[in-house]
Structure 1
Amino acid sequence: MSALREAEETYRRMAYDTFAQDLKMGFNLGFCRTFAVPEIARVLAATGRMTQHTRVRAKATGAMMYGLFEHGLDSEQGAGTIAALDRLHAPFAIGDDAFRYVLACFDLAPMSWCAAHAWRAPTDAERTASHTFYLGLADRLGIPEVPATWREFETWMRTYERAHFAATPQGRELWQATRGMLADRVPRVPRVLGPLAGAAADSLFDDRARDAFSARRPPALVRGATRAALRARAWRGRRTRAREAL
Protein backbone atom coordinates (compact mmCIF):
# COMPACT_ATOMS: atom_id res chain seq x y z
CA MET A 1 0.00 0.00 0.00
CA SER A 2 1.31 3.46 -0.89
CA ALA A 3 2.15 6.04 1.76
CA LEU A 4 -0.82 8.15 0.63
CA ARG A 5 -3.28 5.24 0.90
CA GLU A 6 -2.02 4.43 4.39
CA ALA A 7 -2.30 8.10 5.37
CA GLU A 8 -5.85 8.25 4.02
CA GLU A 9 -6.85 5.23 6.09
CA THR A 10 -5.35 6.76 9.23
CA TYR A 11 -6.96 10.12 8.56
CA ARG A 12 -10.30 8.45 7.89
CA ARG A 13 -10.17 6.82 11.33
CA MET A 14 -9.41 10.17 12.93
CA ALA A 15 -12.24 11.92 11.06
CA TYR A 16 -14.91 9.32 11.72
CA ASP A 17 -13.87 7.78 15.04
CA THR A 18 -10.83 8.85 17.05
CA PHE A 19 -11.38 12.62 16.85
CA ALA A 20 -14.73 12.81 15.05
CA GLN A 21 -16.16 15.89 16.78
CA ASP A 22 -12.85 17.56 17.52
CA LEU A 23 -11.65 17.37 13.93
CA LYS A 24 -14.82 19.14 12.79
CA MET A 25 -14.25 21.88 15.34
CA GLY A 26 -10.64 22.23 14.24
CA PHE A 27 -11.71 22.61 10.63
CA ASN A 28 -14.11 25.37 11.58
CA LEU A 29 -11.41 27.19 13.51
CA GLY A 30 -8.92 26.74 10.68
CA PHE A 31 -11.34 28.07 8.09
CA CYS A 32 -12.17 31.10 10.25
CA ARG A 33 -8.46 31.76 10.75
CA THR A 34 -8.13 32.48 7.03
CA PHE A 35 -10.29 35.59 7.56
CA ALA A 36 -7.25 37.22 9.18
CA VAL A 37 -5.40 37.31 5.83
CA PRO A 38 -6.56 40.34 3.80
CA GLU A 39 -6.05 38.63 0.42
CA ILE A 40 -8.24 35.71 1.45
CA ALA A 41 -10.81 37.80 3.32
CA ARG A 42 -11.40 39.98 0.26
CA VAL A 43 -12.17 36.96 -1.89
CA LEU A 44 -14.47 35.32 0.66
CA ALA A 45 -16.36 38.55 1.35
CA ALA A 46 -16.68 39.44 -2.34
CA THR A 47 -18.72 36.34 -3.14
CA GLY A 48 -21.23 37.13 -0.38
CA ARG A 49 -21.72 33.44 0.37
CA MET A 50 -19.99 33.47 3.75
CA THR A 51 -21.73 36.60 4.99
CA GLN A 52 -25.21 36.04 3.56
CA HIS A 53 -25.48 32.24 3.64
CA THR A 54 -22.96 31.36 6.33
CA ARG A 55 -24.26 27.99 7.45
CA VAL A 56 -24.97 26.81 3.92
CA ARG A 57 -21.46 27.78 2.78
CA ALA A 58 -19.84 26.13 5.81
CA LYS A 59 -21.86 22.95 5.30
CA ALA A 60 -20.91 22.81 1.61
CA THR A 61 -17.21 23.19 2.40
CA GLY A 62 -17.41 20.49 5.05
CA ALA A 63 -19.22 18.12 2.70
CA MET A 64 -16.53 18.53 0.05
CA MET A 65 -13.69 17.88 2.49
CA TYR A 66 -15.36 14.91 4.15
CA GLY A 67 -16.09 13.44 0.75
CA LEU A 68 -12.34 13.47 0.13
CA PHE A 69 -11.69 11.84 3.50
CA GLU A 70 -14.25 9.11 2.91
CA HIS A 71 -13.48 8.18 -0.67
CA GLY A 72 -9.81 9.18 -1.09
CA LEU A 73 -8.11 11.70 -3.35
CA ASP A 74 -7.84 9.42 -6.37
CA SER A 75 -11.30 7.88 -6.23
CA GLU A 76 -13.91 8.88 -8.80
CA GLN A 77 -15.65 10.97 -6.15
CA GLY A 78 -12.35 12.49 -5.05
CA ALA A 79 -11.41 13.48 -8.59
CA GLY A 80 -14.80 15.12 -9.01
CA THR A 81 -14.39 17.09 -5.79
CA ILE A 82 -10.90 18.26 -6.76
CA ALA A 83 -12.20 19.38 -10.16
CA ALA A 84 -14.98 21.28 -8.39
CA LEU A 85 -12.43 22.97 -6.11
CA ASP A 86 -10.41 24.01 -9.16
CA ARG A 87 -13.52 25.53 -10.76
CA LEU A 88 -14.47 27.28 -7.53
CA HIS A 89 -11.12 29.04 -7.22
CA ALA A 90 -10.43 29.68 -10.90
CA PRO A 91 -12.16 33.09 -11.13
CA PHE A 92 -10.03 34.60 -8.35
CA ALA A 93 -6.47 35.90 -8.44
CA ILE A 94 -5.12 34.13 -5.36
CA GLY A 95 -1.37 33.79 -4.83
CA ASP A 96 0.37 30.51 -4.10
CA ASP A 97 1.24 31.62 -0.56
CA ALA A 98 -2.42 32.25 0.22
CA PHE A 99 -3.37 28.82 -1.12
CA ARG A 100 -0.60 27.29 0.99
CA TYR A 101 -1.94 29.09 4.04
CA VAL A 102 -5.47 27.76 3.53
CA LEU A 103 -3.99 24.28 3.20
CA ALA A 104 -2.02 24.83 6.43
CA CYS A 105 -5.18 25.85 8.26
CA PHE A 106 -6.98 22.67 7.18
CA ASP A 107 -3.97 20.46 7.92
CA LEU A 108 -2.62 21.95 11.14
CA ALA A 109 -5.48 23.72 12.92
CA PRO A 110 -7.50 20.51 13.50
CA MET A 111 -4.41 18.76 14.88
CA SER A 112 -3.67 21.71 17.17
CA TRP A 113 -7.25 21.72 18.44
CA CYS A 114 -7.13 17.98 19.12
CA ALA A 115 -3.80 18.35 20.94
CA ALA A 116 -5.28 21.01 23.21
CA HIS A 117 -8.88 19.86 23.71
CA ALA A 118 -9.57 16.29 22.56
CA TRP A 119 -9.67 13.24 24.82
CA ARG A 120 -6.06 12.64 23.85
CA ALA A 121 -3.48 14.36 21.67
CA PRO A 122 -2.75 13.12 18.15
CA THR A 123 0.36 11.01 17.81
CA ASP A 124 3.23 12.05 15.55
CA ALA A 125 2.12 9.27 13.18
CA GLU A 126 -1.39 10.76 13.02
CA ARG A 127 0.00 14.24 12.41
CA THR A 128 2.20 12.83 9.66
CA ALA A 129 -0.82 11.10 8.11
CA SER A 130 -2.69 14.41 8.07
CA HIS A 131 0.21 16.16 6.41
CA THR A 132 0.68 13.37 3.86
CA PHE A 133 -2.99 13.64 2.94
CA TYR A 134 -2.75 17.41 2.46
CA LEU A 135 0.48 17.11 0.51
CA GLY A 136 -1.44 14.83 -1.84
CA LEU A 137 -4.26 17.36 -2.08
CA ALA A 138 -1.77 20.17 -2.76
CA ASP A 139 -0.21 18.15 -5.56
CA ARG A 140 -3.57 17.56 -7.21
CA LEU A 141 -4.60 21.20 -6.86
CA GLY A 142 -1.27 22.47 -8.17
CA ILE A 143 -0.22 24.22 -4.95
CA PRO A 144 3.60 24.29 -5.05
CA GLU A 145 6.34 24.25 -2.44
CA VAL A 146 4.42 22.93 0.55
CA PRO A 147 6.97 22.04 3.28
CA ALA A 148 7.71 18.33 3.40
CA THR A 149 6.92 17.77 7.11
CA TRP A 150 4.20 19.01 9.40
CA ARG A 151 6.74 20.56 11.75
CA GLU A 152 8.24 22.57 8.89
CA PHE A 153 4.72 23.53 7.81
CA GLU A 154 3.95 24.79 11.32
CA THR A 155 7.04 27.00 11.21
CA TRP A 156 6.04 28.30 7.78
CA MET A 157 2.49 28.98 9.01
CA ARG A 158 3.65 31.02 12.02
CA THR A 159 6.00 33.06 9.84
CA TYR A 160 3.25 33.70 7.31
CA GLU A 161 0.81 34.82 9.99
CA ARG A 162 3.29 37.29 11.47
CA ALA A 163 3.85 38.80 8.04
CA HIS A 164 0.28 38.81 6.70
CA PHE A 165 -2.34 39.00 9.47
CA ALA A 166 -4.02 42.40 9.41
CA ALA A 167 -7.38 43.89 10.34
CA THR A 168 -9.70 44.58 7.43
CA PRO A 169 -13.41 45.40 7.14
CA GLN A 170 -13.86 42.13 5.26
CA GLY A 171 -12.19 40.07 7.98
CA ARG A 172 -14.36 41.69 10.62
CA GLU A 173 -17.52 41.14 8.54
CA LEU A 174 -16.70 37.47 7.98
CA TRP A 175 -15.97 36.86 11.64
CA GLN A 176 -19.14 38.59 12.79
CA ALA A 177 -21.14 36.43 10.39
CA THR A 178 -19.47 33.25 11.63
CA ARG A 179 -18.83 33.60 15.38
CA GLY A 180 -22.35 32.65 16.47
CA MET A 181 -22.26 29.49 14.40
CA LEU A 182 -18.85 28.61 15.81
CA ALA A 183 -20.01 29.16 19.38
CA ASP A 184 -22.92 26.78 18.77
CA ARG A 185 -20.42 24.07 17.82
CA VAL A 186 -18.47 24.21 21.06
CA PRO A 187 -20.26 21.53 23.12
CA ARG A 188 -21.77 22.86 26.35
CA VAL A 189 -19.98 26.20 26.23
CA PRO A 190 -22.97 28.20 24.88
CA ARG A 191 -25.21 26.68 27.55
CA VAL A 192 -22.74 27.68 30.25
CA LEU A 193 -22.33 31.25 29.04
CA GLY A 194 -25.71 31.99 27.49
CA PRO A 195 -25.63 35.44 25.84
CA LEU A 196 -21.82 35.53 26.14
CA ALA A 197 -21.41 32.56 23.78
CA GLY A 198 -20.09 34.85 21.04
CA ALA A 199 -17.33 36.00 23.36
CA ALA A 200 -16.58 32.32 24.04
CA ALA A 201 -15.97 31.89 20.33
CA ASP A 202 -13.61 34.89 20.41
CA SER A 203 -11.67 33.21 23.21
CA LEU A 204 -10.82 30.24 20.98
CA PHE A 205 -8.34 32.39 19.04
CA ASP A 206 -5.03 33.98 19.96
CA ASP A 207 -4.58 37.73 20.22
CA ARG A 208 -3.07 38.03 16.73
CA ALA A 209 -6.13 36.49 15.09
CA ARG A 210 -8.57 38.43 17.27
CA ASP A 211 -6.86 41.68 16.36
CA ALA A 212 -7.26 40.83 12.67
CA PHE A 213 -10.96 40.13 13.26
CA SER A 214 -11.28 43.41 15.22
CA ALA A 215 -12.60 41.28 18.08
CA ARG A 216 -12.13 42.27 21.71
CA ARG A 217 -10.27 40.05 24.15
CA PRO A 218 -13.05 38.32 26.09
CA PRO A 219 -13.40 38.96 29.83
CA ALA A 220 -11.47 36.65 32.14
CA LEU A 221 -14.75 35.07 33.31
CA VAL A 222 -15.61 34.03 29.75
CA ARG A 223 -12.12 32.73 29.02
CA GLY A 224 -12.07 30.75 32.25
CA ALA A 225 -15.54 29.28 31.75
CA THR A 226 -14.66 28.27 28.19
CA ARG A 227 -11.44 26.56 29.29
CA ALA A 228 -13.26 24.78 32.10
CA ALA A 229 -16.02 23.55 29.80
CA LEU A 230 -13.47 22.24 27.31
CA ARG A 231 -11.44 20.50 30.02
CA ALA A 232 -14.61 18.85 31.33
CA ARG A 233 -15.51 17.72 27.83
CA ALA A 234 -12.05 16.18 27.31
CA TRP A 235 -12.31 14.40 30.67
CA ARG A 236 -15.69 12.94 29.74
CA GLY A 237 -14.20 11.80 26.44
CA ARG A 238 -11.38 10.00 28.21
CA ARG A 239 -13.83 8.27 30.55
CA THR A 240 -15.99 7.17 27.64
CA ARG A 241 -13.01 5.78 25.73
CA ALA A 242 -11.78 3.96 28.84
CA ARG A 243 -15.18 2.30 29.33
CA GLU A 244 -15.31 1.29 25.66
CA ALA A 245 -11.88 -0.34 26.00
CA LEU A 246 -13.05 -2.65 28.84
Structure 2
Amino acid sequence: MRAVGAAGRRRAPDHLRDLDPVVDHHRIYRHMVLREFWPEMRIGLNLAFYRTYAVPSIARLLLATGELTRRPLKRGYDTGAIMYELISSGVDDPRGRQVLALLDRMHRVHEISDAEYRYVLGTLVFVPSRWIDRFGRRRLHPVEREATFQFYRRVGTALRIRDIPATLAAFEAEFTEFERVNFAFDPAARTLIEATRELMTRRLPGPLRDRAWACRAVAVTTDAVLDPPVRAALGLPEPSRALEVAVHGLLRVRGRARRFTRVRDTDHWTSGQPNAAYPDGYTLDQLGPDRLPDPPLSSR
Protein backbone atom coordinates (compact mmCIF):
# COMPACT_ATOMS: atom_id res chain seq x y z
CA MET A 1 0.00 0.00 0.00
CA ARG A 2 1.32 3.47 -0.87
CA ALA A 3 2.66 5.41 2.10
CA VAL A 4 0.61 8.41 3.25
CA GLY A 5 3.16 10.34 5.30
CA ALA A 6 4.61 9.19 8.58
CA ALA A 7 1.18 8.71 10.09
CA GLY A 8 0.38 6.27 7.30
CA ARG A 9 2.53 3.72 9.13
CA ARG A 10 -0.10 3.50 11.86
CA ARG A 11 -1.73 0.08 11.86
CA ALA A 12 -4.56 0.06 9.35
CA PRO A 13 -7.91 -1.67 9.96
CA ASP A 14 -8.04 -5.10 8.36
CA HIS A 15 -10.28 -4.06 5.47
CA LEU A 16 -7.70 -1.42 4.40
CA ARG A 17 -4.64 -3.66 4.63
CA ASP A 18 -4.17 -4.28 0.88
CA LEU A 19 -5.79 -1.12 -0.49
CA ASP A 20 -4.12 1.92 -2.02
CA PRO A 21 -5.72 5.30 -1.15
CA VAL A 22 -5.21 6.61 -4.69
CA VAL A 23 -6.03 3.56 -6.79
CA ASP A 24 -8.78 2.31 -4.48
CA HIS A 25 -10.13 5.67 -3.28
CA HIS A 26 -13.73 4.98 -4.31
CA ARG A 27 -13.84 1.56 -2.67
CA ILE A 28 -12.41 2.96 0.57
CA TYR A 29 -14.62 6.05 0.68
CA ARG A 30 -17.76 4.12 -0.25
CA HIS A 31 -17.15 1.76 2.66
CA MET A 32 -16.74 4.73 5.01
CA VAL A 33 -20.00 6.42 3.97
CA LEU A 34 -22.30 3.47 3.36
CA ARG A 35 -21.05 1.02 5.97
CA GLU A 36 -18.64 1.73 8.80
CA PHE A 37 -19.32 5.43 9.46
CA TRP A 38 -22.77 5.74 7.92
CA PRO A 39 -24.48 7.65 10.82
CA GLU A 40 -21.50 9.96 11.35
CA MET A 41 -21.19 10.63 7.62
CA ARG A 42 -24.89 11.42 7.34
CA ILE A 43 -24.53 14.11 10.01
CA GLY A 44 -21.18 15.31 8.70
CA LEU A 45 -22.40 15.76 5.13
CA ASN A 46 -25.42 17.70 6.38
CA LEU A 47 -23.16 19.95 8.44
CA ALA A 48 -20.96 20.46 5.39
CA PHE A 49 -23.86 22.01 3.48
CA TYR A 50 -24.94 23.99 6.55
CA ARG A 51 -21.44 25.45 6.78
CA THR A 52 -21.66 27.01 3.32
CA TYR A 53 -24.31 29.43 4.64
CA ALA A 54 -21.49 31.21 6.49
CA VAL A 55 -20.09 32.47 3.16
CA PRO A 56 -22.27 35.43 2.08
CA SER A 57 -21.86 34.95 -1.69
CA ILE A 58 -22.87 31.28 -1.42
CA ALA A 59 -25.74 32.03 0.98
CA ARG A 60 -27.16 34.68 -1.34
CA LEU A 61 -26.95 32.32 -4.31
CA LEU A 62 -28.67 29.50 -2.42
CA LEU A 63 -31.44 31.87 -1.39
CA ALA A 64 -31.83 33.30 -4.90
CA THR A 65 -32.52 29.86 -6.41
CA GLY A 66 -35.60 29.60 -4.19
CA GLU A 67 -35.31 25.82 -3.98
CA LEU A 68 -34.57 25.68 -0.26
CA THR A 69 -37.29 28.15 0.74
CA ARG A 70 -40.06 27.14 -1.68
CA ARG A 71 -39.54 23.38 -1.63
CA PRO A 72 -37.38 22.57 1.38
CA LEU A 73 -38.46 18.92 1.61
CA LYS A 74 -37.69 18.14 -2.02
CA ARG A 75 -34.49 20.21 -1.98
CA GLY A 76 -33.25 18.45 1.15
CA TYR A 77 -33.92 14.94 -0.09
CA ASP A 78 -32.63 15.74 -3.59
CA THR A 79 -29.33 16.95 -2.17
CA GLY A 80 -28.92 13.78 -0.13
CA ALA A 81 -29.93 11.49 -2.99
CA ILE A 82 -27.55 13.16 -5.44
CA MET A 83 -24.64 12.86 -3.02
CA TYR A 84 -25.32 9.24 -2.12
CA GLU A 85 -25.91 8.24 -5.73
CA LEU A 86 -22.49 9.65 -6.63
CA ILE A 87 -20.78 8.06 -3.63
CA SER A 88 -22.41 4.71 -4.30
CA SER A 89 -21.72 4.61 -8.04
CA GLY A 90 -18.45 6.51 -8.31
CA VAL A 91 -17.21 8.89 -10.97
CA ASP A 92 -16.50 6.23 -13.61
CA ASP A 93 -19.84 4.41 -13.44
CA PRO A 94 -22.53 5.34 -16.02
CA ARG A 95 -24.94 6.23 -13.20
CA GLY A 96 -22.25 8.34 -11.56
CA ARG A 97 -21.63 10.16 -14.85
CA GLN A 98 -25.36 10.84 -15.10
CA VAL A 99 -25.27 12.40 -11.62
CA LEU A 100 -22.25 14.52 -12.57
CA ALA A 101 -24.09 15.76 -15.67
CA LEU A 102 -27.04 16.70 -13.45
CA LEU A 103 -24.76 18.59 -11.05
CA ASP A 104 -23.16 20.42 -13.94
CA ARG A 105 -26.52 21.51 -15.39
CA MET A 106 -27.72 22.63 -11.95
CA HIS A 107 -24.72 24.86 -11.30
CA ARG A 108 -23.58 26.17 -14.68
CA VAL A 109 -26.44 28.68 -14.92
CA HIS A 110 -25.03 30.56 -11.91
CA GLU A 111 -21.98 32.77 -11.56
CA ILE A 112 -19.82 30.68 -9.23
CA SER A 113 -16.09 31.20 -8.92
CA ASP A 114 -13.62 28.32 -8.90
CA ALA A 115 -12.61 29.35 -5.38
CA GLU A 116 -16.22 28.92 -4.25
CA TYR A 117 -16.49 25.57 -6.01
CA ARG A 118 -13.29 24.42 -4.33
CA TYR A 119 -14.57 25.57 -0.94
CA VAL A 120 -17.81 23.60 -1.28
CA LEU A 121 -15.78 20.59 -2.38
CA GLY A 122 -13.58 21.10 0.69
CA THR A 123 -16.54 21.06 3.05
CA LEU A 124 -17.29 17.53 1.83
CA VAL A 125 -13.69 16.47 2.47
CA PHE A 126 -13.03 18.08 5.85
CA VAL A 127 -16.30 18.60 7.74
CA PRO A 128 -17.44 14.93 7.87
CA SER A 129 -13.87 13.75 8.58
CA ARG A 130 -13.50 16.12 11.52
CA TRP A 131 -16.89 15.04 12.84
CA ILE A 132 -15.85 11.38 12.76
CA ASP A 133 -12.60 12.16 14.56
CA ARG A 134 -14.54 13.86 17.36
CA PHE A 135 -17.63 11.70 17.66
CA GLY A 136 -17.13 8.52 15.61
CA ARG A 137 -16.46 4.93 16.56
CA ARG A 138 -12.74 5.56 15.91
CA ARG A 139 -10.54 8.22 14.34
CA LEU A 140 -9.95 7.97 10.62
CA HIS A 141 -6.80 6.28 9.40
CA PRO A 142 -4.56 8.42 7.13
CA VAL A 143 -5.39 6.10 4.25
CA GLU A 144 -9.08 6.97 4.68
CA ARG A 145 -8.32 10.70 4.76
CA GLU A 146 -6.29 10.44 1.57
CA ALA A 147 -8.96 8.33 -0.15
CA THR A 148 -11.61 10.91 0.76
CA PHE A 149 -9.50 13.65 -0.78
CA GLN A 150 -8.81 11.60 -3.90
CA PHE A 151 -12.51 10.84 -4.35
CA TYR A 152 -13.54 14.50 -4.25
CA ARG A 153 -10.55 15.53 -6.33
CA ARG A 154 -11.86 13.18 -9.02
CA VAL A 155 -15.35 14.66 -8.64
CA GLY A 156 -13.98 18.19 -8.91
CA THR A 157 -11.91 17.32 -11.96
CA ALA A 158 -14.93 15.73 -13.64
CA LEU A 159 -16.88 18.96 -13.00
CA ARG A 160 -13.95 20.99 -14.41
CA ILE A 161 -13.23 22.85 -11.19
CA ARG A 162 -9.87 24.48 -11.76
CA ASP A 163 -6.77 24.62 -9.56
CA ILE A 164 -7.71 21.93 -7.04
CA PRO A 165 -4.59 21.54 -4.84
CA ALA A 166 -2.53 18.44 -5.51
CA THR A 167 -2.24 17.34 -1.88
CA LEU A 168 -4.59 16.97 1.06
CA ALA A 169 -2.45 19.28 3.20
CA ALA A 170 -2.46 22.03 0.57
CA PHE A 171 -6.21 21.68 0.11
CA GLU A 172 -6.81 21.97 3.86
CA ALA A 173 -4.61 25.07 4.04
CA GLU A 174 -6.60 26.70 1.23
CA PHE A 175 -9.89 25.66 2.85
CA THR A 176 -8.89 27.20 6.19
CA GLU A 177 -7.71 30.45 4.57
CA PHE A 178 -10.91 30.74 2.52
CA GLU A 179 -12.98 30.56 5.70
CA ARG A 180 -10.77 33.09 7.46
CA VAL A 181 -11.21 35.60 4.66
CA ASN A 182 -14.81 34.94 3.66
CA PHE A 183 -16.84 33.99 6.73
CA ALA A 184 -19.26 36.82 7.54
CA PHE A 185 -22.90 37.27 8.42
CA ASP A 186 -25.44 37.94 5.67
CA PRO A 187 -29.24 38.16 6.10
CA ALA A 188 -29.62 35.42 3.48
CA ALA A 189 -28.06 32.99 5.95
CA ARG A 190 -30.82 33.62 8.49
CA THR A 191 -33.51 32.74 5.93
CA LEU A 192 -31.64 29.60 4.90
CA ILE A 193 -31.21 28.54 8.52
CA GLU A 194 -34.92 28.88 9.22
CA ALA A 195 -35.78 26.87 6.09
CA THR A 196 -33.28 24.17 7.06
CA ARG A 197 -34.64 23.97 10.61
CA GLU A 198 -38.14 23.61 9.22
CA LEU A 199 -36.94 20.67 7.14
CA MET A 200 -35.24 19.11 10.18
CA THR A 201 -38.38 19.39 12.31
CA ARG A 202 -40.43 17.81 9.53
CA ARG A 203 -38.20 14.76 9.87
CA LEU A 204 -39.12 14.34 13.53
CA PRO A 205 -41.57 11.56 14.45
CA GLY A 206 -45.16 12.64 13.77
CA PRO A 207 -46.26 13.47 17.33
CA LEU A 208 -43.23 15.76 17.85
CA ARG A 209 -43.44 17.86 14.68
CA ASP A 210 -45.91 20.38 16.10
CA ARG A 211 -44.39 20.54 19.56
CA ALA A 212 -42.64 23.86 20.15
CA TRP A 213 -40.21 22.34 22.64
CA ALA A 214 -39.15 19.66 20.14
CA CYS A 215 -38.55 22.23 17.41
CA ARG A 216 -36.58 24.34 19.86
CA ALA A 217 -34.53 21.31 20.89
CA VAL A 218 -33.58 20.71 17.25
CA ALA A 219 -32.42 24.31 16.91
CA VAL A 220 -30.33 24.55 20.09
CA THR A 221 -28.78 21.10 19.57
CA THR A 222 -27.73 22.03 16.04
CA ASP A 223 -26.27 25.31 17.29
CA ALA A 224 -24.30 23.42 19.95
CA VAL A 225 -22.47 21.23 17.43
CA LEU A 226 -21.39 24.12 15.22
CA ASP A 227 -17.98 25.61 15.95
CA PRO A 228 -17.77 29.26 17.10
CA PRO A 229 -16.62 30.81 13.78
CA VAL A 230 -19.61 29.28 11.99
CA ARG A 231 -22.06 30.38 14.69
CA ALA A 232 -20.66 33.91 14.55
CA ALA A 233 -20.93 34.07 10.75
CA LEU A 234 -24.50 32.75 10.88
CA GLY A 235 -25.50 35.19 13.60
CA LEU A 236 -26.47 32.38 15.97
CA PRO A 237 -26.35 32.76 19.74
CA GLU A 238 -23.65 31.02 21.73
CA PRO A 239 -25.16 28.00 23.52
CA SER A 240 -24.70 27.72 27.24
CA ARG A 241 -21.54 25.91 28.28
CA ALA A 242 -23.64 23.29 30.07
CA LEU A 243 -25.67 22.55 26.94
CA GLU A 244 -22.57 22.32 24.76
CA VAL A 245 -20.84 19.95 27.19
CA ALA A 246 -23.98 17.80 27.47
CA VAL A 247 -24.52 17.52 23.70
CA HIS A 248 -20.85 16.81 22.97
CA GLY A 249 -20.69 14.31 25.83
CA LEU A 250 -23.71 12.37 24.57
CA LEU A 251 -22.27 12.28 21.07
CA ARG A 252 -18.95 10.93 22.34
CA VAL A 253 -20.69 8.26 24.41
CA ARG A 254 -22.70 7.24 21.36
CA GLY A 255 -19.53 7.01 19.29
CA ARG A 256 -17.77 4.87 21.87
CA ALA A 257 -20.78 2.58 22.13
CA ARG A 258 -20.69 2.05 18.38
CA ARG A 259 -17.21 0.56 18.71
CA PHE A 260 -18.89 -2.59 20.01
CA THR A 261 -21.30 -2.90 17.09
CA ARG A 262 -20.47 -4.99 14.05
CA VAL A 263 -19.90 -3.21 10.75
CA ARG A 264 -22.49 -4.50 8.33
CA ASP A 265 -21.38 -6.19 5.13
CA THR A 266 -24.29 -4.57 3.27
CA ASP A 267 -24.92 -0.89 2.55
CA HIS A 268 -27.09 1.32 4.75
CA TRP A 269 -28.45 3.08 1.66
CA THR A 270 -30.25 1.89 -1.49
CA SER A 271 -30.51 3.78 -4.77
CA GLY A 272 -34.02 5.03 -5.52
CA GLN A 273 -35.36 4.15 -2.09
CA PRO A 274 -38.63 5.80 -0.97
CA ASN A 275 -38.51 8.77 1.36
CA ALA A 276 -40.79 11.59 2.53
CA ALA A 277 -40.29 13.55 -0.70
CA TYR A 278 -40.64 10.47 -2.94
CA PRO A 279 -42.98 7.96 -1.22
CA ASP A 280 -42.77 5.60 -4.21
CA GLY A 281 -39.05 6.02 -4.71
CA TYR A 282 -37.30 8.21 -7.27
CA THR A 283 -35.47 8.09 -10.57
CA LEU A 284 -32.48 10.31 -11.37
CA ASP A 285 -34.48 12.50 -13.75
CA GLN A 286 -36.76 13.51 -10.85
CA LEU A 287 -33.89 15.00 -8.84
CA GLY A 288 -32.97 18.67 -8.90
CA PRO A 289 -34.84 21.77 -10.09
CA ASP A 290 -37.71 21.29 -12.53
CA ARG A 291 -36.08 23.25 -15.33
CA LEU A 292 -32.49 22.64 -16.32
CA PRO A 293 -30.50 23.39 -19.48
CA ASP A 294 -30.13 20.31 -21.66
CA PRO A 295 -26.50 19.93 -22.82
CA PRO A 296 -24.37 17.93 -20.32
CA LEU A 297 -20.89 18.85 -19.12
CA SER A 298 -20.07 21.71 -21.46
CA SER A 299 -17.00 23.79 -20.72
CA ARG A 300 -17.32 26.69 -18.36
Question: How far apart, in 1, do the equivalents of 2:110 and 2:32 lie?
Answer: 32
Alpha carbons of structure 1 residues 164 and 145: separation in structure 2 relative to 1, 3 Å: same
CA distance in 2, matches of 1:101, 1:11: 20
Structure 1 residues 226 and 115: CA distance shift in structure 2, 3 A: same
Residues 1:183 and 1:146: Cα distance change in structure 2 (over 3 Å): farther
Are 1:224 and 2:248 an aligned pair?
Answer: no
**Could you list the per-position Cα deviations for residues 47-101 of structure 1 after superposition, in whole angstroms to 9, with x for gaps in the alignment?**
1111232232121111111111111101111111111111000111011100000
Cα distance in 1 for residues equivalent to 2:239 and 2:115: 31
Q: How does 1:61-140 map to 2 (within 5 A)?
A: 61-140=79-158
Bigger proportion of residues as helix:
1
For structure 2, the 5+ residue unaligned runs are: 1-18, 266-300
| Equivalence for 1:239 | 260
Aligned with 2:261: secondary structure? helix
8 A Cα contact 1:193 1:225, kept in partner: no
- Radius of gyration: which is bigger? 2
How many Å separate the matches in 2 of 1:194 and 1:86? 35
**1:225, 1:55 → 2: CA distance?**
30
| Residues 202 and 185 of structure 1: CA distance in aligned 2, closer, same or farther (over 3 Å) | farther
Shift of 1:162: 0.7
Residue 241 of structure 1: CA displacement? 4.1
Confirm or deny that 1:207 pairs with 2:225: no
Equivalences, count: 239
Matched, 1:147 2:168: no
d(CA) in 2 for partners of 1:104, 1:184? 28
Question: What RMSD, in angstroms, separates the aligned Cα atoms of the two structures?
Answer: 2.5
Residues of 1 paired with 2:262 and 2:239: CA distance? 33
DSSP 3-state at the match of 1:203: helix
Give secondary structure in 1 for the equivalent of 2:92.
coil
- Structure 1 unaligned residues grouped into runs of 5+: none
Distance 1:199 1:185 in 2: 16
CA distance in 2, matches of 1:93, 1:145: 17
The answer as to whether partners of 2:53 and 2:234 remain within 8 angstroms in 1 is: yes
Contact kept, 8 Å, 2:189 with 2:234, in 1: the verdict is yes
**CA distance in 2 between partners of 1:104 and 1:93 (Å):** 19
Q: Which residue is equivalent to 1:60?
A: 78
Identity within the alignment, %: 33
Structure-2 separation of matches of 1:27 and 1:230: 16
Give the structure-1-normalised TM-score.
Answer: 0.89
1:198 match: 219
Q: CA separation of 1:118/1:184 partners in 2, compared to 1, >3 Å: closer, same or farther?
A: farther
Tell me if structure 2 keeps the 8 A contact 1:30–1:106.
Answer: yes
Which region of structure 1 is more displaced relative to structure 2, 102-111 or 170-179?
170-179
